[in-house]
Amino acid sequence: MGINRVILFHFHLFKNAGTAIDYILEENFKERFVRREFKFWPYYKNIQEVVNWIKEEDAIAFSSHTARLFDPIILEEDGIKMIPIVFIRHPLIRIHSAYHFERKQKDIFRPGPVIARNTDLKGYIEIRWSIPRQEFNCKNFHVFRLADVLHNEEGEMFSKALKAIQKLPFVGLVEEFEKSIRKLEILVKQYYPEFTAKVVKMNTQFDPDISIETRLKMIENEVGSEFYKKLVDANKEDILLWEKVAKMYGR
């Protein structure tokens, strides 16, 4: 069976410029841009629900925080080509932004906002680490999420995440947002020639022009030097993955 439908799927990784990407998709596809959330566990049930959604929904662009990543070839049996949209960000800066964002969510009672409102950054991270199936939010988050692309393969999550960034047609970098969306635009225009991606900065917790070094120093000052070392060690695979993608964008 040939390809008779091309869709874009934004795997909206929390605090990775996702609001800006959703805005671009909605501007381009209007009512044919849709969002939905899913139960994160178990993996195969999540994927089946996501695949069913894609098949049943008359849409071009999809977005979800909680859809697990999967190999797009799954959909090709049904004549659907999926362009996955995934962005990664320096892992420590993502955690820092998540904490300060969730701290402002006054009327939301998910675990993240409740924890953030009642403790400092160090406490937020330690509590996240201690909750089963929540630790990945502050520990090698991108490795955990990207490894899902090769979920059926044997091997360590880190090696699967590295393979995933080579396998996926697009992986964006928050720190090179403009370069990333230009790359995305070129990819999508092959199928939707009118597609345009405007550079927009939305839902930011800190000045996006602050250097990475300055942000990392802010984090170290907030949690203390000893805990900062623990945080770096807990995210060392994520940092290596981020460095790999950063090199793809000439950083």
Q: What is the DSSP string of 163-212?
A: HHHHHSS--EEGGGHHHHHHHHHHHHHTT-TT--------S-SS-TTS-H
Domains annotated for the chain, with CATH where assigned, are 5-89+142-189 (3.40.50.300), 93-138+206-248 (no CATH)
Residue 33's contacts (CB-CB under 8 Å, 6 or more residues apart) are: 22, 25, 26, 59, 60, 61, 62, 63
Give the C-alpha separation, 5 to 244, whole Å.
32
pTM: 0.95
Mean pLDDT, the chain, whole residue set: 95
- Is the model's pLDDT at 202 over the cut of 70? no
Tokens representing 192 are 């939707």
What is the model's pLDDT at position 109? 81
Closest CA to 83 of 199, 192, 195, 187: 187
- Is the model's pLDDT at 205 over the cut of 90? no
The structure tokens 């030097």 sit at: 225
Residues 112-156: pLDDT tens digits? 999 999 999 999 999 999 999 999 999 999 999 999 999 999 999
What is the model's pLDDT at position 1? 59
Tokens representing 201 are 């900065």
Most confident of 64-68, 195-199, 200-204: 64-68
pLDDT band at 108 (very low <50, low <70, confident <90, very high): confident
| pLDDT (average), residues 197-220 | 84
